[in-house]
A = this chain, B = another copy of it.
Amino acid sequence: MSPLTTRAAQALARLRETRPWVHCLTNTVVQKFTADGLSALGAIPSMTDSPDEVAAFASRADALLVNLGTLDEGLRRVIAMAVDVASGQGKPIVLDPVFCDVSEVRLAFAKAIVGRRGIVLRANAAEIAAIGGTGDAPVIRTGAVDLVQAGGRRATIGNGHPWMAVVVGTGCLSGAVVAAFNAVEDDPLVAGIAGLATLGVAAEMAAIGCTGPGTFGVRLLDALHAVSPADIETRARIEDLS
């Protein structure tokens, strides 16, 4: 067992004890699924995107999720306010630039944010390629095998299930889960690994005896609640490439 696996399991135990508050600026499609996933895991979600309120919520939360899944002018302003507050306080901010390879508006916005203090980028290969340079920001590349890259180190996570790609919002949820782990773990390499391994192991548990993607999405919430540090130690497939 890799030492990273032990540290990921410890991070999950710590998350369950401390119950970090994650404020989520995410698209309306996945709000409930993201909030339910964080809550099942043991974190506390909040979701308001009102310009009158977002600074107060970002300031009190332990981590921020910024998901560009639907991005109009109002939301861009709100995200900028929240990032200013959280970045200024040195809090972790997970940026999920959904479809920035398709939308120029999202790409320009993602590029402007990615260099800010505290940012962790969570994206797929096409989105990362579109953004280009990510500077010193930790990068979490999700795909068939997930890759985490931070502070000159790299590791892969081989857990998960094909049904994750059929249920809308599991990618967005992974960003929220990683944000929760960054709130309880200072090393972004360990936080990224812990988040993806926890979600991936939960997905494997959820898929057992499953009859389709509807049931899978529901059981994934059950499994996020049930998955234990011991499950991470025995089931996580983490490889340290450093």
Contact B211 A102, beta carbon cutoff 8 Å: no
Residues in B whose Cβ lies below 8 Å from that of A214:
36, 40, 217-222, 225
Residues in B whose Cβ lies below 8 Å from that of A166:
39-40, 225
In the bound complex, how far is the Cα of B33 from the Cα of A223, in angstroms? 21
In the bound complex, how far is the Cα of B30 from the Cα of A36, in angstroms? 11
In the bound complex, how far is the Cα of B212 from the Cα of A76, in angstroms? 36
In the bound complex, how far is the Cα of B60 from the Cα of A61, in angstroms? 38
- How many copies are assembled? 3
The verdict on A32 contacting B212 (CB below 8 Å), with A50-B105, A60-B102, A72-B52 known, is no
Interface residues on A, range: 35 or more
Task: For A106, give the chain B residue with the smallest CB separation.
Answer: B53
Cβ of A85 to closest chain B Cβ, rounded Å: 15
Write out, one digit per residue, whether chain A residues 52-92 have a CB within 8 A of any chain B CB (1) or not (0). Answer: 11001100100000000111110100000000000000000
Residues in B whose Cβ lies below 8 Å from that of A60:
102
Residues in B whose Cβ lies below 8 Å from that of A48:
27, 69-71, 103
Interface pairs A-B: 8 shortest CB-CB: A212-B222, A214-B221, A50-B72, A214-B218, A35-B168, A29-B31, A214-B222, A52-B105
- Selected from B40, B70, B221, the residue in CB contact (under 8 A) with A49 is B70
Contact A71 B53, beta carbon cutoff 8 Å: yes
Q: Mark A residues whose CB is within 8 Å of B.
A: 27-33, 35-36, 39-40, 45-53, 56-57, 60, 69-73, 75, 99, 102-106, 166-169, 211-215, 217-223, 225-226
Task: For A163, give the chain B residue with the smallest CB separation.
Answer: B225
Residues in B whose Cβ lies below 8 Å from that of A49:
70, 72
Contact A71 B52, beta carbon cutoff 8 Å: yes
Contact A53 B105, beta carbon cutoff 8 Å: yes
In the bound complex, how far is the Cα of B212 from the Cα of A158, in angstroms? 25
Give me 25 A-to-B residue pairs in the complex whose CB atoms sit less than 8 angstroms apart, sorted by A's number.
A27-B48, A28-B31, A32-B168, A32-B169, A36-B167, A40-B212, A40-B213, A40-B214, A48-B71, A48-B103, A50-B70, A50-B72, A52-B72, A52-B103, A52-B105, A57-B103, A211-B222, A211-B226, A212-B221, A213-B225, A214-B219, A214-B222, A214-B225, A217-B218, A217-B221
